[in-house]
Amino acid sequence: MKLSFVENKKLLTRIGPLLLGAALNVLLVQTAGAQDAQSVPIPPDSPRWELEGRAKATEYLGRKCLALDGAAAVVKDLELRDGVIDVDVATPASRGFFGIQFRIANDGADAEWIYLRQHKSGAPDAMQYTPVLNTGLNWQLYNGPGFTGAVEIPKNEWFHLRLEITGAQARLFVKDMNRPALVVDDLKSGVQKGLVALAVLTGETYFSNFEVRETPPAPWERHLPPMPAGTLTKWSLSPAFDALARNPERAPEPAEMKTIEWQTVEAEAPGIVAINRYRASPHPRVTFANDFAKRLEPQPGAKLVYARTEIDAARDEIRRLSIGYSDEVSVFLNGRIIYRGRSAQYFRDPAFLGIVNPENDTLYLPLKKGRNELLLAVSELGGGWGFICRLTEMEK
């Protein structure tokens, strides 16, 4: 299931013009000078909101509020770099995804999003931070400490959220304003300033007492994890192809490889190549998302990118390749296929998430002395398009 209002197909066709109009309004406000550093309340019926989807001002549990369900509410006249966002939330839904998007840029294609999952209340992934890259979420790539966390999500009662944005870091407070529930050590989108929105993919959710306060810009300091030994960091990416038009068990012919326009990229620590950074994200309707029996059906709209790198070997030898990927991969060594894996959400079982982890799959590369070409064909349905590879010596 898609998790961002920019990934909802019906909203996707409308959110671009919405955000473009919002950006124009920002310019008008900024000409008046910087906003006061005090918290600024924005009532639910304020003309500063631009509403899309199933969104309206209403009353719930005795309060005036915004109601969102498959919807977004954008503060159309504010571009925020650093600041504090406060809002009260209530939800009767047993399942859903709701939260705050910030630093929304490029007509909604890129942003940061921190959201909660009602159906995961108390679970290790009840909260999720993900960058939005080229309209795609990347929660399968960015998971674990600094990205996900456990929290109890109340039902049918108001509770408070606070989001503190400071340079390349963010902290989310849920109910307890003295201790952050989720600390994001390194915001990944690369966007330093943008619009703010309340967003709900699905699951009736209400927002009240929204306030925002701009704070002075903090130094932009990245807090990256170390790059593990053996990580393959230098890659070249092809353009995106229609996945159904490619044979996943055959590498492109040498003549075609020469005609492809390759883009040189470098993995980000701890070794992830986030293809969504470089290619527009696909948004197919995945037939097996709600019917496991359809998992072997072709999925129109899926996209495929080839990624290649070189491995130098001093002698003929076998080396261990640990690989994580989303959603499907074919691995070719010197033009021959040696592995095919499928790890899309819901593919392996109805509860399968497809989280990328290089410890999940291992294959063994029969390297020849000299230069070896490693080629991946990585296809995507949703949730994060990318891979990570680590090459290590075999134990003797």
CA angle 33, 35, 41 (to 5 degrees): 150
The tokens describing 142, both together, are 């960015």
Flag whether the pTM goes above 0.85.
yes
Provide the 3-class DSSP secondary structure of residue 251: coil
**pLDDT string in tens for the chain (396-residue length):** 233 444 443 343 334 434 444 444 443 334 333 444 799 999 999 999 999 999 999 999 999 999 999 999 999 999 999 999 999 999 999 999 999 999 999 999 999 999 999 999 999 999 999 999 999 999 999 999 999 999 999 999 999 999 999 999 999 999 999 999 999 999 999 999 999 999 999 999 999 999 999 999 999 999 999 999 999 999 999 999 999 999 999 999 999 999 999 999 999 999 999 999 999 999 999 999 999 999 999 999 999 999 999 999 999 999 999 999 999 999 999 999 999 999 999 999 999 999 999 998 999 999 999 999 999 999 999 999 999 999 999 887
Question: 58: which strand partners?
Answer: 65
Max Cα-Cα span within the chain: 74
Strand 182-184 versus strand 169-174 pairing type: antiparallel
Question: Would 9-214 and 234-393 be classified into the same CATH topology?
Answer: yes
CB-based burial label for 131 (10 Å; 0-12, 13-18, 19+): buried
Q: Which CATH superfamily is domain 9-214 in?
A: Exo-inulinase; domain 1 (2.60.120.560)
Residue 360 has a pLDDT of: 87
Domain ranges of the chain: 9-214, 234-393
Which residues, 6 or more positions from 152, have their beta carbon under 8 angstroms from its beta carbon?
121, 122, 126
Q: In the numeric block, which tokens belong to residue 374? A: 């490693």
Of 162, 393, 134, which Cα lies nearest the Cα of 278? 134
Alpha-carbon separation of residue 241 from 29, 275, 298 (angstroms): 42, 13, 15
Task: Write the CB contacts of 103 (distance below 8 Å, at least 6 apart in sequence).
Answer: 80, 81, 111, 112, 165, 187, 189, 191, 192, 193, 194, 195
pLDDT of residue 9: 38
Q: Can you give the pLDDT at residue 10?
A: 37
Q: What are phi and psi of 87, to 5 degrees?
A: -160, 145
Q: Is residue 117 within a helix (H) or strand (E), and if so which, with residue range?
A: strand 110-117
Please choose, from the candidates 50, 191, 174, the residue with its C-alpha nearest in 3D space to the C-alpha of residue 113: 191
Look at residue 18 in the predicted model and tell me its pLDDT: 45
Q: What is the pLDDT of residue 268?
A: 98
The pLDDT score that the predictor gives to residue 338 is 98
pLDDT computed for residue 219 by the predictor: 96
- Stated as kind and residue range, the H or E segment containing 22 is helix 9-30
Question: Which one is the CATH code of 234-393: 2.10.260, 3.30.750, 1.25.40, 2.60.120?
Answer: 2.60.120
Residue 347 has a pLDDT of: 98
Closest CA to 292 of 251, 347, 255: 347
